[in-house]
Chain A
């Protein structure tokens, strides 16, 4: 349950931040845009333990956010996950936007759509790509071990999630239990996919003219 809560919350927060950022990054023209894109791409591939370490340093007692008292708590894990997967979601949405957003915006202009209507249209037309970004982010969050081990501490009943438990069981030599938990994790991932597929509703069609 803790695994699911952490994963869903961090994915939701990453989507709220990453999706608009990805769309904005495509639309915006500013000096240094290439560097920003490069930073985003680098963060997409950032080693999770490095992110975990950075968050640890921020949240430790003497750190800039030490007053929050979040270290070794659920909140710290969610924060680390969010920092980890936001660039991934942003990067995927940005790449999708590069391909299609300018055509969608041009179309919106020709239809007389307002700015708000254009934004809604963008999200609707890119919903497949956005859904894909969310799924990738969700998968990344659910499979995370390193960062949440560092900031969460793997404390039983508090910050121990399925992935850190699997790592612990493996260290103890309790391989069968580790495999069982791994299978449960895969089934949860499959169920989320099926639910997501229902909610998505848009039919996948190919363009016959390609």
Chain B
């Protein structure tokens, strides 16, 4: 995905993104070919970091096609709306059971569910015994896990996660992070305030401040050696 000259008025600032490119292959990143992925997995996982209100979620929603920018272009490079998904901080769950929620994306695509995969995903989320439970009665963490596996089940090519781990326990976070790192056919873009998580799994990050991308690059290099003032200030509490 390539976006250029995106402008969007919102809340405190105007979002102003000159250019941004999301690719799956590490070799094709705009910041160079060196891999910083754990276990030499050759696929990109992007992180977007920045203070509250800097435009991270707005940018993500624009990239996910949920809101339209006031100006600018987005080149999905052949991806359709069915290839892209977004998991919200507070996910929307259907007024239905856990299982019906999980199967919804397959239902609208007329894809027959793979029982083995369903079982694997439910076990990963710890929801295997709650399939008939009304989804809205799950705890906050369980709802986030359900939203995650619902996005995983149809294997999107591009997935945006907006603080999707914020209510999860550490074991669940570890399991989901492993899944994300292993799933090479999906390009992941995460927003998180947990810099430790960003360091663990993201290959590249974008740092945003006041509606603009102020810094972008490989995670380790950017976080260990921040060059710009706003990023140094942001990281001082790390």
Contact = CB atoms under 8 A, between A and B. Distances in A.
A110 B151 contact: yes
A110 to B, nearest CB: 5
B209 to A, nearest CB: 26
A110 B85 contact: yes
Interface in A157-210: 202-203, 205-209
Contacts of A124: 95
A103 B2 CA distance: 26
A196 B121 CA distance: 37
A193 to B, nearest CB: 21
Main SS at interface, chain B: mixed
A106 interface: yes
Interface residues of B, number: 29
A149 B65 CA distance: 53
Interface stretch (A39-47, A78-86, A111-119, A135-143): A111-119
Interface string B58-77: 00010011100000000000
Nearest to B64: A110
B111 to A, nearest CB: 11
Chain A: interface secondary structure? helix
Interface in B126-176: 134, 136-140, 143, 151, 154
Q: Identify the interface centre among A111, A124, A125: most chain B CB within 10 Å of its CB.
A: A111
Contact of A205 (B83, B136, B139, B143): B136
Contact of B94 (A106, A125, A208, A209): A125
B139 A208 contact: yes
B151 A125 contact: no
B12 interface: no
Nearest to A209: B140
Contacts of A117: 108
Contacts of B104: 111
B86 A208 contact: no
A111 B134 contact: no
Interface string A46-78: 000000000000000000000000000000000
Contacts of B140: 209
B194 to A, nearest CB: 21
Interface string B75-101: 000001111111110001011000000
Interface of A: 103-104, 106-107, 109-114, 117, 124-125, 127-128, 202-203, 205-209
Q: Which among B64, B81, B87, B140 has the greatest number of chain A C-beta atoms within 10 A?
A: B81
Contacts of B105: 111-112
Nearest to A105: B66
A111 B108 contact: yes
B109 interface: yes
A205 to B, nearest CB: 5
Contacts of B95: 124-125, 127-128, 202
A109 B92 CA distance: 12
B154 to A, nearest CB: 8
B6 to A, nearest CB: 18
A202 B94 CA distance: 12
Contacts of B109: 112
Given A110-B86, A114-B108, 20 more contacts: A103-B92, A104-B92, A106-B66, A106-B88, A107-B92, A109-B66, A111-B104, A111-B108, A112-B84, A112-B109, A113-B108, A124-B95, A128-B95, A203-B134, A205-B134, A205-B137, A206-B137, A208-B138, A209-B140, A209-B143
Contacts of A209: 139-140, 143
B136 A110 contact: no
A109 B83 CA distance: 11
- The CB with the most chain B CB atoms within 10 A, among A110, A111, A209, is that of A110
Contacts of A113: 108
B145 to A, nearest CB: 14
A96 to B, nearest CB: 13
